[in-house]
Amino acid sequence: MAKGAGKVLAQNKKAGHDYFIEETIEAGMVLTGTEIKSIRAGKVQLKDSYVRISSGEAWISNMHISPFDQGNRFNHDPLRSRKLLLHKKQIGELVGAVKRDGYTIVPLKMYLKDGYAKLLIGVGKGKKDYDKRNDMRKKEAKREIERVFKAKNQV
């Protein structure tokens, strides 16, 4: 995570399972007043969200931010597309990465940094089913080794 980053408000755990993340970039977002209040309350979900590039701008789609309880008529559409704040050079790098076969841009984490909501996005290549099975085997082997060491240390 980036230096000086605060509490993680939302995490896309499925992204690590479905993609090999090769590069990460921190991005800001254009939000309304009730959206940032909901985010600070932790009512945000990154599951099934994705980043797309259109006409030189980066947008996050399908990110769910629940309506703010006291927001009444000023509330927002929970699934609206939100613009990501990135430098032109960063957007150019993302466009180049997505043009490669099998690569996509996925949101990984959302957190507060210096009072601003930041989104950590990653460029990842989709995993095949056998890659996912190998990862699960490695994780299980690591757990088993830790169990054995823990049992030895207790005796």
Tell me the pLDDT tens digit for each residue of 34-68.
Answer: 888 888 888 898 988 889 999 889 999 999 888 88
Write the CATH number for 87. Answer: 2.40.280.10
Full-model pTM? 0.77
Cβ(58)–Cβ(51) below 8 Å: yes
Give the per-residue pLDDT at 5.
Answer: 59
| Virtual torsion, Cα 36, 57, 25, 2, nearest 10 deg | -30
Give the per-residue pLDDT at 85.
Answer: 93
In a domain, 30, yes or no: yes
In a domain, 132, yes or no: no
pLDDT over 90 (residue 115): no
Give the per-residue pLDDT at 111.
Answer: 92
In a domain, 94, yes or no: yes
Cβ(119)–Cβ(61) below 8 Å: no
pLDDT over 70 (residue 2): no
